Amino acid sequence: MRSNLRLKVLVAAIGLASASVATAATTHSVHGQSLAAVPAASLSAHFGLGANSALVARSSVPLGLGRHVVRQQQFYRGVPVYGRSVAVVEDAGGNALRATGELAQNLDSDLVSVSPKLSAAKALNALKSHAHTSLVGGNTISNQQSDLFVYPQDNGPARLVYRTSYVAHENGQVSRPTAIIDANTGEVIQSWNGLTYASATGPGGNQKTGEYYYGTDYAALDVTQSGSTCTLNNSNVVTYNLNHGTSGGSIVSFTCPNSNTDAINGAYSPVNDAHHFGGVVHDMYVAYTGAAPLNIKLRMNVHYKSNYENAFWDGTAMYFGDGASTFYPLVSLDVTSHEISHGYTEQNSGLQYSGQSGGMNEAYSDIAGEAAEFYDRGAADFLVGADIVKTSAGIGNALRYMCNPPQDGGSIDNAADYTSSLDVHYSSGVYNKAFCLLAKTGGWDVKKAFQVFALANKSYWTATSTFNSGACGVESAATDLGYNANDVITAFTGVGVTCPGTGGGGGGGGGSTALQNGVAVTGQSAASGADLNYTVAIPSGATNLVITISGGSGDADLYTKYGSVPTSTSYDCRPYKTGNSESCSYATTQAGTYYVRLHGYAAFSNVTVKATWSTGGGGGGGGSNVLQNGVPVTGLSGSKNTKLYYTVQIPAGAKNLAITTSGGSGDEDLYVKFGSTPTTSSYDCRPYIAGNSESCTVASPSTGTYYIMLNGYSAFSGVTLKATWN
């Protein structure tokens, strides 16, 4: 019988657990975690990263009202940790209000040293050997990079690695071999091709779009003039003619004012189009995101090779082929924005060009192409490359169809159809369709939808983001910008993607869901052998923690552990019962994080997960207890001048927020403020009434975090705090 089998396995597991003495590095995931104004300098300690880890600000985006969203990159002993960062919303005083991202804990258990045995040059040689790159016969390489990282692994200890890459021109082909290489042994851990594809006057366009004229039909070309010579060069964009070579070339120049010398393959002047569209993309990014797309001037390399049917970004510049039988020269506005935006991704999130992150990388560039069309023309067609695909090629009207990805014959439009062998151009369909759904939602348009994806790329996504964890970033970006995050959730639900913490879903996500006190997380589903992960942040003074699963079909097994993620052999509690009715209880709890895992003993669906605990009072300031709608916090107490802190997260569309204190004895004072922690001199509401019966109400509350402080005017005890809203 199954119960006997489980007993035998349990005995074996206990034996294995007792022999375990090491704590492996683990991933700590947070999504929209309220931080109650923790000083930014204290974040590393707040997340329990250890004395050898640090969080370093790498970028900052202003959000208004003095707030910024800051990407904090994790470092371990001075070495960046691959794919591990958090985006932190900070107030004007540098206090952290909310965080989303993934961090590595317990790295000390895996890494004795961060001094590599291999040099960066030797790691590059290992990549060249792995990629079989030859430098004979005129073959060349350029843009060599070899950067040291700490590399956390899902199934094994963290390792010291080099992320290596270079651009190779071999036998008439271009590639960008990229690999993660062990910095001590030279082992190639993972590899992939990192080449990311896809005022003067003069003509532009091609036989499909029709010929148009810069200076008449469109704005004149922005050029530099010296005497009677003009060059396609300005403060933002410079355009080179490679003259069918693969490198070098020269800045396009001509006798002012007319640039009209390079008609080819049905296009009237690819250099003019590339130069003009490069400027459009630059201006679009400035208008929509507040900053230029790249930290370097845009270099547009046109007429790459002969009959070359592609365009790409090589880490330093954009390259455009002249096409042949399938494409006109690949200098359309959306393709130009696509390639420039690969650079934006490389310089911000660094999405790895393989797996789900590779599909996100491609999709973001497609999304930026539509944003450029919307900015320049007032409308987007949601078709990738429609202006350059030749009708005679017989491949349809476009390369990709963002609102109906399967129309191209290979792309998917739901995460459930994803496989690890799928080309990144085809897996891009998941995020492409999510973007289309969002852009067409009431109250949204292409600009707003692009802005949340661009902010997610700049601040929230990491090199190893997945469909699911990436959705968390887009949701957080919507909240940051004051847009409706629920619409983002709906759009991603439409493609089978769910941010951990907002319900069930597919996409193979990784990461964990933060459970709130008394709030059920419903609709949890997974395949046999798959795991879903959760965290429970327990405040000081809490007691009687109970974690339960219930309902649904199939068979999920519940595992819990304090301080680290449980495994099949290391856990505090594992009921190990048939079905989905299981519970783990802790009468005495520790302040900190409890980790929860649901493991598919068999496939399961529609399971509900819930954590509940009792919250005590006292203890002074600095806490980060989160109030839930209608759930009272009882038994609060403190001495004179004691300060207790709480937060409440208000969703979009909420009405009639009421924060109340009642009961008990003594005299506490209620303070409430939106966006930052109140003080006795800075607050939005302070009733200042004798006794403990106080209330702050907001008929139309803002979307975001309200901060609450209870201050002991005199000693108080037995007070109840509650927040409610419609």
Which of 519, 516, 512, 606 lies closest to 559, judged by CA? Answer: 512
100/477 Cα distance (integer angstroms): 10
Which of 597, 410, 611 lies closest to 516, judged by CA? Answer: 611
139/506 Cα distance (integer angstroms): 44
Bridge partner residues of 253 (DSSP): 231
Sign of the CA dihedral with 613 first, then 618, 623, and 624 last: positive
Q: What number of other Cβ atoms are within 10 A of residue 307's Cβ?
A: 11
- Pairing type for strands 237-241 and 156-170 reads unpaired
- Pairing type for strands 140-153 and 173-175 reads unpaired
Q: Tokens for 472?
A: 């968390």
Cβ-contact 87, 31 below 8 angstroms: no
Bridge partner residues of 96 (DSSP): 38, 90
**CB proximity list for 681: less than 8 A, separation 6 or greater:** none
Helices 355-377 and 270-289, axial angle in degrees (round to 10): 100
DSSP 415: G
403/432 Cα distance (integer angstroms): 7
250/259 Cα distance (integer angstroms): 15
- Pairing type for strands 298-304 and 318-321 reads parallel
Cβ-contact 149, 162 below 8 angstroms: yes
242/136 Cα distance (integer angstroms): 22
Sign of the CA dihedral with 397 first, then 403, 407, and 410 last: positive
57/496 Cα distance (integer angstroms): 33
Sign of the CA dihedral with 185 first, then 190, 191, and 196 last: negative
528/514 Cα distance (integer angstroms): 23
What residues are labeled active site? 339, 425
φ/ψ (deg, to 5) at 709: -130, 130
256/275 Cα distance (integer angstroms): 16
Cβ-contact 642, 620 below 8 angstroms: yes
224/236 Cα distance (integer angstroms): 12
- Pairing type for strands 633-638 and 592-614 reads unpaired
Whole-number Cα distances in Å, 556 to 4, 112, 366, 581: 18, 37, 39, 9
Which of 556, 559, 552, 553 lies closest to 529, judged by CA? Answer: 556
Which of 706, 626, 642, 633 lies closest to 664, judged by CA? Answer: 633
692/637 Cα distance (integer angstroms): 11
87/101 Cα distance (integer angstroms): 6
Cβ-contact 34, 46 below 8 angstroms: no
Q: What number of other Cβ atoms are within 10 A of residue 724's Cβ?
A: 17
